[in-house]
């Protein structure tokens, strides 16, 4: 997580299981159950669509929390129909790794315009609350560029 005085910026991907990452991000032969632990050392958040997180049992969700660092955040798509009792139970398990105040999601997709993004980040840094910069197309190179941009900008 990158922080300014009033703001937190998190860079991540929609999901952490992507076949194109095998061998270039995830070491060859890494068991799938180790991937989130590895991912969370490089990126401080992951976006999960409602269909992904709502289908997980409480034991699996507990394991996800245990496999991640305290600074790591799950960014969850809300249930469009409202929260069910099962959703509430799942959110309770994930509570240590979600931001109770929500946050703003900025989608990173296509060819990045880093100059424009830098201007957008400056404006976002003036507000309060977390900002989640999420690569919808799982582009590791773009994610690393944004990570570097945040470091250069001191955000």
Average pLDDT over residues 15-19: 96
Give residue limits of the domains in the chain. Answer: 2-153
- pLDDT, the chain, mean: 93
The CATH superfamily assigned to 2-153 is Protein of unknown function UPF0759 (3.20.20.410)
What pLDDT was estimated at residue 4?
A: 38
Is the model's pLDDT at 5 over the cut of 50? no
DSSP string, 23-77: TTTBPTT--GGGHHHHHHHH-SEEEE-HHHHTTS-HHHHHHHHHTS-TT-EEEEP
CA atoms within 13 A on the CB side of 134: 23
Residue-level pLDDT at 128: 74
Least confident of 69-73, 79-83, 110-114: 79-83
pLDDT tens digits, 18-63: 999 999 999 999 999 999 999 999 999 999 999 999 999 999 999 9
Residue 1 has a pLDDT of: 43
């Amino acid at each position: 997580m990158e922080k300014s005085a009033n703001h937190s910026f998190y860079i991540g991907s929609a999901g952490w299981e992507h076949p194109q990452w095998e061998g270039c991000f995830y070491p060859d032969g890494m068991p799938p159950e180790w991937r989130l632990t590895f991912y969370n050392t490089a990126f401080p958040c992951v976006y999960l669509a409602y269909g992904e997180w709502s289908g997980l049992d409480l034991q699996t969700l507990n394991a996800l929390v245990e496999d991640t660092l305290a600074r790591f955040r799950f960014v969850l798509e809300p249930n469009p129909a409202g929260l069910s009792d099962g959703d509430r139970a799942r959110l309770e398990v994930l509570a240590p790794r979600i931001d109770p105040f929500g946050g703003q999601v900025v989608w990173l997709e296509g060819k990045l315009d880093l100059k424009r993004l830098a201007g957008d980040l400056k404006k976002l840094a003036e507000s309060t609350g977390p900002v989640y910069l999420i690569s919808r197309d799982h582009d590791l190179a773009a994610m690393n560029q944004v990570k570097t941009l945040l470091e250069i900008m001191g955000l």
